[in-house]
Structure 1
Amino acid sequence: MSFISVFDVMGPNMIGPSSSHTAGAARIAFLAQKMITGPLKRIEFILYGSFAKTYQGHGTDRALLGGIMGFSTDDMRIRNSFEIATEKGLEYVFTPNEEETDIYPNTVDIIMLNQAGQQMTIRGESLGGGKVRISQINQVDVDFTGEYSAAIVIQKDVPGVVAYITKCLSDRQVNIAFMRLFRESKGHTAYTIVESDGILPEDIADTIRQNKHVQDVMVVQM
């Protein structure tokens, strides 16, 4: 049986009526925008399950838009996220998908396009109490909660890359809490997610990128 703390019962500090539909939504989008180099140009939010049915009434749309602009769950600016996004010139669209039902109830796909033309798709699930899970990156199944600082490495699935990543972190005295590898298929694109007990060195992404098989590195500091 998993442990539930009093903070899980009470929920997080937040703007909006629901820890699942507003705080969780903001948290998913907040994590998503940390995985792509800004500034962002256009965002599409595809909503599933109860997100698709109630996103306007529960303020899920405002929370997602606020999170994608880097607002925390208790940031008062979430209430005015539409206006702020318009002022920033950020294009956005919300697309409810009520046809696909074989999916976790509070799920959103966030399709991000930055000013440099890079596109990334993140799928997130709001688990309740403000807790979330990133379950896909660019259609590859992953498992990332954002509760720890993390390095997310996009790489070619070849021998030696994981050992190289581990050495880079060990050389910088990083204490690894969790390390997992996810891949499309053998020999193709893989994602190594390394979660740390502490803040990661600011230049660790540049260090890991020096390996010729590493395509990109995203550092999410908590």
Structure 2
Amino acid sequence: MKYRSVFDIIGPIMIGPSSSHTAGAARIGRVARSIFGREPECVHIFLYGSFAKTYKGHGTDVALVGGILDFDTFDQRIVEALSIAEKKGIKISFFQEDALTEHPNTVKVVLGDKNNVLELVGISIGGGKIEIIELDGFQLDLSGNSPALLIVHNDRFGAIAGVSNIVAKYEINIGQMKVARKEKGQKALMSMEVDQNISKELLDEITKLPNVLQVTKIND
């Protein structure tokens, strides 16, 4: 794992005792909230490995919920996140899972309301850094460190080129890009991390492309 500076090793400004168990957890929760696009009515959190064993003592529970409430890692309200969620009427459930995962700090977050359900799997890799490895059954490789586009589309010829051409038109540099599909010719998910902020105009153009079904942006 490469770090850009000594501050990446020390970790971010944060609430809590552990960059992996609190700052990383808060960031995973916040990315899930950003993709969901609104405050959920219910949340199911499935914890694996080290997260499952120590989530209460290390504050992983309040950090995840704080992120889902859209609190940053240094927000003092994180310590009261569970009670804040309860006052808002958000139903929170935690589940300790025994299944073995590739990384010890793994969590699956399921957000839902009457209109939609989102399922996200993330890992906290240390120093407050995270990776989003699955979204609604699609495999991902999303760091959460940069603005990103998530595009659900039909798996058809020209779909990827159409999106790339629009991104190039707006002089947006692509840091990394991945396309995942469950079955050939069915739905696919394009994830793209970029170096600049994503404008509404760019989103609108991509949304109008043939075979594009849904477009979501994640801001840094």
Q: Under TM normalisation by the shorter chain, which class is it?
A: over 0.9
8 Å Cα contact 1:156-1:188 kept in structure 2: yes
Letter in 2 for 1:104: H
Conserved 8 A contact 1:49-1:103: no
- Residue-pair matches, total: 220
Gaps of 5+ in 1: none
Counterpart residue type for residue 31 of structure 1 = V
Q: Match of 2:78?
A: 78
Is contact 2:48–2:101 with CA below 8 Å preserved after alignment?
Answer: no
CA contact (8 A) 1:156 1:190 kept: yes
Residue in structure 2 matched with residue 178 of structure 1 by the alignment: 176
**Counterpart for residue 205 of structure 2:** 207
Please list the CA deviations of residues 157-177 of structure 1 after superposition, one character each: whole Å capped at 9, or x if unmatched.
111110111122122222222
Matching residue's letter, 2:53 = K
Q: CA RMSD in A?
A: 1.4
8 Å contact from structure 2 (residues 33, 39) kept in 1: no
Q: Is contact 1:36–1:120 with CA below 8 Å preserved after alignment?
A: yes
Which residue is equivalent to 1:106?
A: 105
5 Å matches for 1:116-195? Answer: 117-195=115-193
Contact 2:45 2:95 in 1 (8 A): yes
Matched residues, percent identical?
37
TM-score normalised by the chain length of structure 2: 0.95
Query: Per-residue displacement from partner, 1:139-190 (whole Å, max 9, x unpaired)?
Result: 2211000111011101111111101111221222222222221211221221
Q: Residues 70-100 of structure 1: CA distance to partner in whole angstroms, max 9, x if unpaired?
A: 00111000011011111211111111102x0
Distance 1:56 1:21 in 2: 10
Question: Is contact 2:147-2:195 (8 Å) kept?
Answer: yes
Unaligned runs of 5+ in 2: none
Contact 2:32 2:109 (8 Å CA) reproduced: yes
Contact 1:37–1:114, Cα closer than 8 Å, also in 2:
no
